[in-house]
Structure 1
Amino acid sequence: MSLGIIFLSETVGTAMLLLLGGGVVANVALVKSKGFNGGTLMVNFGWGLAVFAGVTVSYKSGAHLNPAVSIAQLILGKIDFVQFLVYIAAQMVGAFIGAVLVWLAYKNHFDEEPEPAAKLGVFSTGPAIRNYAWNLVTEIIGTFVLVFVIIAFTNGKTPSELGAIPVAFLVIAIGASLGGPTGYAINPARDLGPRIAHAVLPIKGKGGSDWSYAWVPVVGPLVGGALAALLSSALLPLA
């Protein structure tokens, strides 16, 4: 597979993921939206279906959509380092684009929303109780579950090999079970790309982008994905 195809496929898939995932958060969090106060389960199901859509449109590249998945594939020897860098770049670009599209779709609602925290929450995650060490642990555990189960189902292959529907249900399960403490980023691109978009977009009354927390949803998922790959080599029958 050419690097160009990997880049385009991952960019489109991650943009779709963030458009629909960020979109459900906007629908629930922003005042005057018809989904306002829809609750966490609506967000969980919305993100699961966003993953379904993202995986479906990026089968060509294996539908990583997540640097944690890509680092696991690198450790397992399924991709080389140059491919890994292309996956990461595409995921970041796609996440940024998806976040910008959410802002465009909800522009009037962002303008009407009085709370800067609600606006930031559409773009990036934040902890319910701020304790960086334990927030990091939560992100490691959640991402480990995501990547380890994908590897277990596919014998070391990619989310596209598992299929869009099972991955969607897995993400819903993680959100419903482990999403409470940190909002379950479980994906560095999903958090960092939109956080950058929040920082640069001309969002009315947006406040800060909470850069002091931004490292947690990057480091935690990368560690979780790496641990899943390392343990799967010892515990799972890999192809």
Structure 2
Amino acid sequence: MTVYIFEFIGTALLLLLGNGIVANIVLKGTKGSDAGWTGIALAWGIAVFVGVFVSADVSGSHLNPAVTLGLATAGKFPWELVPGYMLAQVMGGMMGNLLVWLTYKKQYEATEQDPEAMLVTFSTVPAIRSPFWNLVTETIGTFVLVFGVFYIAGGTISDEPIKLGALDALPVALLVMGIGFGLGGPTGYAINPARDLGPRIMHAILPLKGKGSSDWNYAWVPIVGPLIGGALAAWVYLWIGI
């Protein structure tokens, strides 16, 4: 049970700080509207650092169903723990965005005439909507993330399980920053089903005046793309066999 609790806590911190910067930039009445994409990429890296550092020594800091799936596919994580980890991650994403909403409650009220601005503080929205190519983008970005995690946390292939430790927090954070700067523009780089699904559920159920649609027609892309990317990363890691 403890490992699930720390996956929940780590993912909640990830979303609180990550989507907190998005809210600070796009909502009306904040002091951070000039931070721009650089601020978003840096803040998401810091969010990953905090989430990983806090939960690393207990749960291994997956914080992402795509990472959990990739590790299990490579034989580095027990399949019986996968459903509990994924549930904890989605619930952590919900809690993180609940805290974002509470933090920016008055700013959400001031932004009630801009439903898309409110939505992007919860879930990803593509810059150009093209589901197939959005799926490709999410798959590539997540492949880079999970493939990098294998070598940051595990190094060479062996029978030993892989888990992120506290000392891995900084390199994983830098990896996520690099993905944000290099690959994040087309879709907003979910690269994590829990990062998108949990907050999207909260957008649907929270009493946000004028929030508009939660865009469930697009929601499958940031779920399926990252899961494909995580599995592909595991297969390539095993195929290389180093």
What TM-score do the two structures reach when normalised by structure 2?
0.94
Letter paired with 2:123 = S
Q: Distance in 1 between matches of 2:18 and 2:223?
A: 18
Q: CA deviation at 1:81?
A: 2.3
Q: Given the alignment of the two structures, is residue 42 of structure 1 paired with residue 47 of structure 2, yes or no? A: no
List per-residue Cα deviations over 1:85-137 (Å, max 9, x = no partner): 11101001100000100000000000001310000000000110000000000
* Residue 152 (structure 1) shift: 2.1
Residues matched between the structures, number: 234
Q: What is the identity, as a one-letter code, of the residue corresponding to 1:43? A: I
Q: Please, which of 68, 71, 77 is the counterpart of residue 70 of structure 1?
A: 68
- CA contact under 8 A between 1:10 and 1:65: conserved in structure 2? yes
**Contact 1:19-1:101 within 8 A present in 2 as well:** yes
> Unpaired runs of 5+ in structure 1?
none
Aligned to 1:28: 25
Cα distance in 1 for partners of 2:65, 2:167 equals 17
Q: Summarize deviations over 1:175-212 as a string: whole Å, max 9, x none.
A: 00000000000000000000000000001111110001
1:118 alignment partner in structure 2 = 117
Q: Show the counterpart of 1:179.
A: 184
RMSD: 1.1
Alignment partner, residue 133 of structure 1: 132
Aligned-residue sequence identity (percent) comes to 53
Asked if the contact 1:140/1:220 (under 8 Å) is kept, the reply is yes
**1:142 alignment partner, SS class:** helix
Q: CA deviation at 1:161?
A: 6.8
Q: Among 6, 9, 14, which residue is 2:11 paired with? A: 14
Distance across 1 between alignment mates of 2:37 and 2:241: 33
CA distance in 2, matches of 1:158, 1:66: 13
| Residue from 224, 235, 239 that aligns with 1:219 | 224
Pick aligned residue for 1:97 from 95, 98, 118: 95
Between the aligned partners of 2:35 and 2:6, the Cα distance in structure 1 is 32
**The one of 48, 51, 56 aligned to 1:51:** 48
- For structure 2, the 5+ residue unaligned runs are none
Deviations 1:40-85 (A, max 9, x none): 0100000000000000111110000000000011111222222001
Residue 119 of structure 2 aligns with an amino acid whose one-letter code is: L
Following superposition, the deviation at residue 226 of structure 1 comes to: 0.2
Match of 2:105 among 94, 104, 107: 107
Q: Tell me if the contact between 1:110 and 1:119 (Cα under 8 Å) persists in the aligned partners.
A: yes
CA distance in structure 2 between the partners assigned to 1:76 and 1:162 by the alignment? 22
Does the CA-based 8 Å contact 2:23-2:104 persist in structure 1?
A: yes
Amino acid at match of 1:120: L
Note if 1:80 corresponds to 2:78.
yes
* 1:155-178 deviation line (CA, Å, top 9, x unaligned): 262333761111111100000000
Counterpart Cα distance in 2 of 1:232 and 1:37 = 40
**Residue in structure 1 matching 2:214, options 177, 202, 209:** 209
* Structure 1 contact 28–35 (Cα < 8 Å) conserved: yes
How far apart are 1:221 and its partner, in Å?
0.2
Give TM-score scaled by structure 1 length. 0.95
